[in-house]
Amino acid sequence: MQIAVFGKQFNKVFFNSCRNLFQLFKEHEVEVIIYKPFYEFLLTDVKMKPEVSGFFTDHEGVRHADLVFSIGGDGTFLEAVTFVGDKGIPIVGVNSGRLGFLADISQSEMQVAIRQVLEGNYQVRQLDLLALKTEDGCFGNNNFALNELAITKRDSSAMITIHTYVNDKFLNSFWADGLIISTTTGSTAYSLSVGGPILHPDSKSFIITPIAPHNLNVRPVVVPNDVEITLKVEGRDSKFLASLDSRSEVFENTVHLKVKKAGFSVKVIELEGHSFFTTLRNKLMWGVDKRN
């Protein structure tokens, strides 16, 4: 088995857990390739030299991996998705800090959970993505997102207007600070923070959520994810910001943005005892209030 390890910097509380993780890889005699900048971080900051058989720096380097391990938080997981792309390689999210929605294997359960993964005791779930198409090829080959597309103004000036069409039928002109087109996976991310609903990842929907709309009666709208959403943006400025998960590009107001479900999905590992509802309760601390 070959595994690819992708990670970013983490704080000292995860140093020993990281050492234990690579020891588990060694015990199970798996072939490890590692993201080169992450390997350098382990050498210089964690003071460990993991046994690896090679390095990768781009998406081509993980092509032959059986699993991709993301070491960090949900942001790291989303970046790992750009390395996997349409290759169909399952991603394992190991959280180096607090519990995440995507990186949901915590330090406290890591030893047992990683053994289960390496022994093949898991299920694979497929998560839908969205894809962005523009006339100028914005974002190139990385024009997809697991969480959301966010359209925002570039400064703190006046609000912008986002004319929104669903399958070429006019929905609304959102006068707001921006607009989020979210997948169901992204319903617990940016969309949730601005008042969007929580949807189960299997719901096959998009959420259209305005950011600080001028009219308070404008609410999020849920539509099927087999539609095409077209966005036309105008405002005092001629340039605006488009963000796919953590990647951002500036675009002109003459550019029309079209959003559809991506032609591929992302595979994630789900262990026994883990579920969307379990993570939801833990992450949002439902039931912590003793009155419940």
Which residue numbers are catalytic?
74
Specify the DSSP element, H or E, that contains 213.
Answer: none
Is residue 36 classed exposed, middle or buried when 0-12, 13-18 and 19+ CB atoms within 10 A define those classes? middle
CA 79/CA 105 separation, integer angstroms: 17
Is residue 111 classed exposed, middle or buried when 0-12, 13-18 and 19+ CB atoms within 10 A define those classes? middle
CA 46/CA 39 separation, integer angstroms: 10
Sign of CA dihedral 38, 44, 46, 48: positive
Strands (E) in 144-220, as ranges, are 144-145, 148-152, 160-166, 169-176, 178-182, 205-211
Helix boundaries (H) for 107-194: 110-118, 190-193
Q: What single string gives the DSSP state of each residue in 73-124?
A: SHHHHHHHHHHHTTS---EEEEESSS--SSS-B-GGGHHHHHHHHHTT--EE
Which residues, listed in sequence order, are joined to residue 150 by a DSSP beta bridge? 180, 243
Q: Give the torsion through C-alpha atoms of 73, 75, 76, 79, to 10 deg.
A: 160
Largest CA distance in the chain: 60
CA 130/CA 226 separation, integer angstroms: 10
Closest Cα to residue 279, out of 209, 189, 194?
A: 189
